[in-house]
Amino acid sequence: MPVTVPHMGNLAIPLKAMLEYVGLEVVLPPPCTKRTLSLGTQNSPEFACLPLKINLGNYIEARELGADTILMAGGLGPCRFGYYAQIQREILQDLGIDMKMVVLEPPDASIKDFLDDIRILANGQSWLTIIKAIQLAWYKAKAIDMVDIKLEETRPRQNHWSDADKIFDRFLRQVDQLNEKTDIYRAAERAVDEMSALPQDWHYEPIKIAIVGEIYTVLENFVNLGLEKHLGRMGVEAKRSIYLSEWINDHIFKGVLPLKSNKTLRKLASPYLNYFVGGHGWETVGSAVEAARDGADGVIQVAPLTCMPEIVAQAILPEISKDRNIPIMTLYVDEQTGEAGLVTRLEAFVDMIRRRKFIQEVSSK
């Protein structure tokens, strides 16, 4: 039963480790490309969310490599995520692609159901094995975030464009192969040290932009067209509102670990938004407030076109921008979005922030 999982940023690395630990064969889809997008788009309803289309492309490509079972998360709340699995199952059936779909109940809804699902998938392995498998996935997610945060800091300061990204890509290949906690953290520390040792301008003070919005578009580089890399190339430090380990802590460990949690962001969202609107809409509002509080120079909201929770958040962001005196831009992406258009919008936004900062500095002297 070769199992596959869809891509969302680097999430496949810890997931693969967890599934292999409980004895499953894992066949990952190739990294997302235009072909993935095209397979998903051709076979999905036009107005389906972009992540549904790309994940469908992932499944078709994983099937070509021999996967016969899909593991995916179920959804809850007022947005379309709850229908994903059913729609994708029916599309695959219509295409004559015979794949079993295992939908994990959202852990936020019932942690017991979530763990039971994992246990059934793991052919009744002991709870100890399952806990160790989840631990291994956690170490990998934490290590990836540690290096990812360093990457965000290094990009705008390095002298040779892409040096830090090369180190990060090499680290991802390494961490995928490692299975001991100490080896995983040692590899992460080595990658961080290598980035620190790169020739760079330590006196350069980059402008800081927070990236907030729908989690899939925030985490998946292919979908956001390399947003963070483009900002880094423009000398901007991009700071993501959510990292893999924080997502795991919130949704699987119920926020018990001492990391930033969605509870904090939801509190910060008040009084602008006081209830769950699906997806990450509530957190998007809280993240924008957090960015202003922490001294970011601007905020970029990124989301798939027609994403309902993010449309709700977008309607609130101008008020936050006015109250907190921080520029906020929204970027919607879909299969028609071109990289050149995105770069032009980013350049205009970054130029505006630089000019604004300059005027503020001059007038405060």
Counting contacts by CB under 6 A, is residue 335 touching ligand SF4? no
- Alpha carbon dihedral 325, 326, 329, 330, in 10-degree steps, equals -80
Cβ-based burial of 257 (10 A; exposed 0-12, middle 13-18, buried ≥19)? middle
* Residue (of 166, 152, 134, 165) closest to 208 by Cα position: 152
Which tokens in the block code for residue 177? 């192969």
Stretch binding ligand SF4 (CB under 6 A), from 61-69, 128-136, 261-269, 301-309? 301-309
Place of tokens 């729908």: 214
Residue closer to ligand SF4, measured from CB, 11 or 22: 11
CB 251 within 8 A of CB 318: no
109-138 positions binding ligand SF4, by CB under 6 A:
none
Among the listed residues 107, 156, 206, 279, the single contact to ligand SF4 using CB under 6 A: 279
Question: From CA 71, how far away is CA 69, in angstroms rounded?
Answer: 7
Write the DSSP string, 116-175.
HHHHHHTTT--HHHHHHHHHHHHHHHHHHHHHHHHHHHHTTTBSSTTHHHHHHHHHHHHH
Calculate the CA 103 to chain-centre distance.
20
DSSP secondary structure code for residue 200 in this structure: B
Among the listed residues 11, 18, 28, 49, the single contact to ligand SF4 using CB under 6 A: 49
CB 333 within 8 A of CB 50: yes
Stretch binding ligand SF4 (CB under 6 A), from 102-110, 154-162, 290-298, 303-311? 303-311
Residue closer to ligand SF4, measured from CB, 153 or 214: 214
Counting contacts by CB under 6 A, is residue 81 touching ligand SF4? yes
CB 273 within 8 A of CB 301: no
Pairing, β 328-333 against β 298-304: parallel
* CB of 357 vs ligand SF4, minimal distance in Å: 32
Among the listed residues 8, 85, 308, 331, the single contact to ligand SF4 using CB under 6 A: 308
Counting contacts by CB under 6 A, is residue 251 touching ligand SF4? no
Among the listed residues 51, 106, 213, 286, the single contact to ligand SF4 using CB under 6 A: 51
* CB of 283 vs ligand SF4, minimal distance in Å: 11
* CB of 176 vs ligand SF4, minimal distance in Å: 27
CB 71 within 8 A of CB 79: no
Stretch binding ligand SF4 (CB under 6 A), from 94-102, 126-134, 285-293, 306-314? 306-314
Which tokens in the block code for residue 283? 């957190």
309-328 positions binding ligand SF4, by CB under 6 A:
309
Q: How many residues bind ligand SF4 (CB under 6 A)?
A: 12
Question: Which residue is at the shortest CB distance from ligand SF4?
Answer: 279
Residue closer to ligand SF4, measured from CB, 18 or 52: 52
Counting contacts by CB under 6 A, is residue 6 touching ligand SF4? no
Per-residue binding letters, 186-225, with ligand SF4 (x by CB under 6 A):
----------------------------x-----------
Stretch binding ligand SF4 (CB under 6 A), from 226-234, 239-247, 255-263, 302-310? 302-310
Q: Show Cβ contacts of residue 128 under 8 Å, excluding neighbours closer than 6 positions.
A: none
Counting contacts by CB under 6 A, is residue 80 touching ligand SF4? yes
CB 165 within 8 A of CB 151: yes
Residue closer to ligand SF4, measured from CB, 206 or 279: 279
Which residues make up the interface to ligand SF4 (CB under 6 A)? 49, 51, 79-81, 214, 278-279, 304, 307-309
